[in-house]
A and B are shown apart, each in its own frame.
Chain A
Amino acid sequence: MKRLLSSIRDGNGFDIVLVAFPLGFLFLMAGLPLLYNILMSFQEVDMFSLGTFLRPFVGFKNYQDLFSQPETWPILGNTAIFVTGSIAGQFLIGFGLALFFWVNFPGASWLRGLFLVSWVMPGLVVGAIWNWILSGDFGVLNFMLRETGIISGNIFWRSDPNYSLYAVIIANIWLGTAFNMILLSVGLASIPGDLYEAAELDGANAWQRFWTITLPMMRSTIGAIVSLGLIFTLQQFDLFAAITSGGPNNSSNVTQYWAWDLSFRQYDFAKGATISVIMIVFVMFASVVYVRSTRHEVRG
């Protein structure tokens, strides 16, 4: 007994306690719900069996049913377009802004802070504002495009199946750009200035400095941003609810909105859980890629 106590105080026991505590917390708060979700995807669940734990087991029936539905593949495709489009837009504009503020003109840090306003706003509010901007007949965006002569007729951003998904992507890029910019700014600030001085002495031009110093030194930051972006875009729900509701005809529907729609609009909880499981698989895959890509990182 005494041995055990002293081991907990300073020895292997202490390490075990240190590991066990967060593990237990993770298991309770994240592991169990995750397992419950996976369990539900193999069961027949309806609203009146929600409170019980042991429900009829149906094997892979939910998965088979899901993939026999005609809308499944288009929605998965939309999700891929939404994720890549959003991340690419957020990252490129965010990086551009971060480089811009890196020049450090008077008031740069102050202005950079102000950009965060877009990220602080709740998604539903952002959605409602973009709803007005993108509105077909009286939308601000259409007005601007028309006045500048880019388009001749109104584009029905929310109601035209060719545009609806991009309408949400535009709103999401606006929402996430500031966050990308801040993280990238932090990354830029941590690059030692003498590297650039040395390169300049060796006669490297701005483009070469960017390619050979800035980008390689930012590798882990970029990796982190892309993987966080993946998580944030896969969580993006409010904008869909506020702008298109996944319509028209599922043309802007994505897995996260669909899972909610199945569970809480059609009360098909098992299928909602099934989609969530598929999403988890994708996120896990992406995280593995991310972890591997930053493993052999050498920091300056």
Chain B
Amino acid sequence: MEDVGRQDNHKEEIMGIRKYAVIGAMALAGVSMFGLSAKAEDVKLTVWSLDRDIQPAPHLVADFNKLNNGIQIEYRQIQFDDVVSEAMRAYSTGQAPDIIAIDNPEHALFSSRGAFLDLTDMISKSTVIKPENYFPGPLKSVEWDGKYYGVPKATNTIALYYNKDMFKAKGLDPNKPPQTWDELVEDARKLTDPAANVYGLAFSAKANEEGTFQFLPWAQMGGGSYENINSEGAVKALTVWKTIMDEKLASPDTLTRGQWDSTGTFNSGNAAMAISGPWELDRMSQEAKFDWGVTLLPVPQEGAERSSAMGDFNWAIFASTKHPEEAFKALEFFASQDDKMFKNYGQLPARSDIAIPATGQALKDAGLQVFLEQLKYAKPRGPHPEWPKISKAIQDAIQAALTGQSSPKDALDQAADKIKAVLG
């Protein structure tokens, strides 16, 4: 209670600065004279995120602190693997931070349990954060029960990279990348060249979230979804994957390799196409010694519904915060800096109202445009509080089918049973 009272005094003080410049100047003098005591009156917030020093969060926090608006943020970096377990532990022992950056499929886990603050009212009054400015996919991932429990921090998706030089060498039109699944398999067959150590395609079917991230868009394009994972289209999608693996159009290590390592083989010229996200653009611009392009993820047949994965983190405020207003102010500040995100940190803001300026690197800019287009079709994983279990069922199905231990249909039927048990 004491804290709240102090904070109210402070708010009045700030309003005073705005209204009466003279009093404001005196107040400022007071602050400088009694620097220490003024500092003690600052509202202190803590922010946890996985961003390293070259990524947005620490810079956003530093810039925010420079505003000297009576709110000071303390930043703590946590490792990717520890985000959820640290947050859970902290929340259940009453030591949660005020603000956290959380991976979007895990968001519902916290909001469904009331661990995150309902921001719906604050967002409706906000002049900075407006739901209509966000891409629908990322926005949906912060929703639970029709209310907003967070703000998308950044977003990403996957599309198809392809090596134009290899297309030319194999007599394919470098300006006509595959648009359908059949074309993708057909092109991959032509591009695969075991003698030259070249696979047609590189992607990831690893038994972790990455595998789900890569497969779910295919299932969704085929008319499936995580609730309906054994639909005909999803079975067809997995069958196409199995064809690619069985014919060795992709390295067998696809089963155990993540997206970053898989795309590495594309950059080194050992794969002619690769499915991955915009986080590869920077590395590829530096490493790839060939002409490359990006195209939308191929669809089951021409004119079919598009879909893609949706990745990256959301901001959320813990329900246990003592300073909800100030924490939301911090989120508003973070959102106000979204327009600099791509230029400074190479990340895509989850916003449809921000035009990203060109970087001057032709390949990178062209690729970026494709990813922005692809983002329109990006769908969140879930949202569902038990997402990790749903995801695990899908990963198991992918691996069982691709290793030949069960047919795609049986594998997905089994996954559907497991998911049904989770959904209840």
Which of A's residues lie within 8 Å of B, judged by CB? 47-52, 71, 135-138, 156, 158-161, 164, 244-251, 264-268
Contact = CB atoms under 8 A, between A and B. Distances in A.
Secondary structure class of chain B's binding surface, majority of residues? helix
B53 to A, nearest CB: 23
Given A247-B399, A265-B388, A267-B388, A136 B89 contact: no
Contacts of A52: 92
Nearest to B390: A266
B78 interface: no
Contacts, number: 85
A248 B403 contact: yes
A48 B253 contact: no
B256 A161 contact: no
Secondary structure class of chain A's binding surface, majority of residues? loop
B396 A249 contact: yes
B399 A48 contact: no
A266 B255 contact: no
B321 interface: no
A178 to B, nearest CB: 27
A114 B389 CA distance: 46
B172 interface: no
B405 A51 contact: no
Interface string B241-278: 00000000001111111000000010000100000000
A248 B256 contact: yes
Interface string B364-400: 0000000000000000000000001100100010011
Interface residues of B, number: 33
A161 B197 CA distance: 23
Contacts of B164: none
B255 A248 contact: yes
A265 B392 contact: yes
A267 B252 contact: no
Given A48-B91, A50-B92, A267-B84, A249 B256 contact: no
Interface string B70-112: 0000000000010011001101110000000000000001000
Contact of A248 (B115, B207, B392): B207
B206 interface: yes
Given A48-B88, A48-B91, A137-B253, A246 B389 contact: no
Contacts of B270: 137
A160 B84 CA distance: 32
A204 to B, nearest CB: 52
Nearest to A261: B392
Given A156-B252, A264-B85, A267-B388, A246 B207 contact: yes
16 contacts: A47-B84, A48-B91, A50-B89, A51-B89, A52-B92, A159-B254, A159-B257, A161-B403, A164-B256, A247-B399, A249-B403, A249-B405, A250-B399, A264-B85, A265-B392, A266-B389
B255 A48 contact: no
Nearest to B90: A51
Contacts of B252: 136, 156, 159-160
A159 B253 contact: yes
A50 to B, nearest CB: 5
